[in-house]
Structure 1
Amino acid sequence: MKKILGLCMLTALLYGCSSVPITGRKRLMLVSNSEVLSSSLTEYSNYMKTAKVSTNTAGKAMVTRVGKRIATATEQYLRNNGMSKEIKDFAWEFNLVNSSEVNAFCMPGGKIVVYEGLLPLVSNDDDLAVVLGHEVAHAVAKHSNERMSQQIAAEYGATILDATLSNSSAIVQGLGSMVYGLGAQYGVMLPFSRKHESEADYMGLILMTMAGYNPNNAVTFWEKMSANGKGNAPQFLSTHPSDASRIKSIQKHLPEMSKYRPTGAGWKVSTTKDTTTKKTTQSTKSINVNSIKTTTTPKRNN
Structure 2
Amino acid sequence: MLKKFSLAALAAVFVVACAQSPTGRNQIMLFNDSQLNAMGSQTFETMKAETPISKDARTNDYVQCVASALLRVTPEKYLTNPWEVVVFENDQINAFALPGGKIGVYTGLLKVAENQEQLAAVIGHEIAHVMAGHSNERLSTNQFVQSALALGDAGTRAYGVRYQQEIMAALGVGAQLGVVLPFSRTHESEADIIGLDLMAKAGFEPRQAINLWQNMAAASSNNTPQFLSSHPVPENRIAELRARMPEAMSTFNERKKAGRLPACRR
Question: Normalising to structure 2: TM-score of the pair?
Answer: 0.74
Q: Offset of 1:230 from its aligned partner?
A: 4.2
Match of 2:261 among 280, 286, 293: 286
- Paired amino acid for 1:136: I
**Aligned equivalent of 1:3:** none
For the residue of structure 2 that corresponds to 1:73, the secondary structure is coil
The alignment status of 1:106 with 2:108, answered yes or no, reads no
Q: Offset of 1:250 from its aligned partner?
A: 0.5
**Aligned equivalent of 1:46:** 46
Task: Supply the RMSD in Å over aligned alpha carbons.
Answer: 2.8
Any conservation in 2 of the 1:101–1:116 contact (CA below 8 Å)?
Answer: yes
**Aligned equivalent of 2:167:** none
Q: Offset of 1:156 from its aligned partner?
A: 2.1
Any conservation in 2 of the 1:97–1:115 contact (CA below 8 Å)?
Answer: yes
Aligned-partner Cα distance in 2 for 1:198–1:7: 30
- Paired amino acid for 1:129: A
Question: When you count helix as a share of all residues, which structure comes out higher?
Answer: 2
Aligned-partner Cα distance in 1 for 2:114–2:198: 19
Aligned-partner Cα distance in 2 for 1:259–1:216: 12
Match of 2:136 among 137, 145, 149: 145
The alignment status of 1:10 with 2:12, answered yes or no, reads yes
Q: Offset of 1:65 from its aligned partner?
A: 0.7
Aligned-partner Cα distance in 2 for 1:152–1:124: 40
Q: Answer with 1 or 2: which has the greater Rg.
A: 2
Kindly indicate whether structure 1 or structure 2 has the higher relative contact order, using CA contacts under 8 Å at least 6 residues apart: 1
Any conservation in 2 of the 1:210–1:262 contact (CA below 8 Å)?
Answer: no
- Paired amino acid for 2:235: A
For the residue of structure 2 that corresponds to 1:205, the secondary structure is helix
For the residue of structure 2 that corresponds to 1:106, the secondary structure is strand
Q: Cα deviations across residues 23-71 of structure 1 (Å, max 9, x unaligned)?
A: 1111100111111111221122112111110123222111111111111
User: 1:231 and 1:19, CA in 2 relative to 1: closer, same or farther beyond 3 A?
Assistant: closer
Aligned-partner Cα distance in 1 for 2:251–2:212: 20
Question: Normalising to structure 1: TM-score of the pair?
Answer: 0.66
- Paired amino acid for 1:285: R
The alignment status of 1:210 with 2:201, answered yes or no, reads yes
Any conservation in 1 of the 2:14–2:28 contact (CA below 8 Å)?
Answer: no
Q: Offset of 1:203 from its aligned partner?
A: 0.8
Any conservation in 2 of the 1:7–1:28 contact (CA below 8 Å)?
Answer: no
**Aligned equivalent of 2:62:** 62
**Aligned equivalent of 1:71:** 71
Aligned-partner Cα distance in 2 for 1:12–1:100: 41
- Paired amino acid for 1:26: N
Which segment is superposed worse, 47-56 or 136-145? Answer: 47-56
User: 1:7 and 1:64, CA in 2 relative to 1: closer, same or farther beyond 3 A?
Assistant: farther
Any conservation in 1 of the 2:96–2:126 contact (CA below 8 Å)?
Answer: yes
Moved over 4 A (4+): 6-9, 230-233
Q: Offset of 1:285 from its aligned partner?
A: 3.3
Any conservation in 1 of the 2:96–2:123 contact (CA below 8 Å)?
Answer: no
Aligned-partner Cα distance in 2 for 1:26–1:232: 31
Identity %: 32
**Aligned equivalent of 1:25:** 25
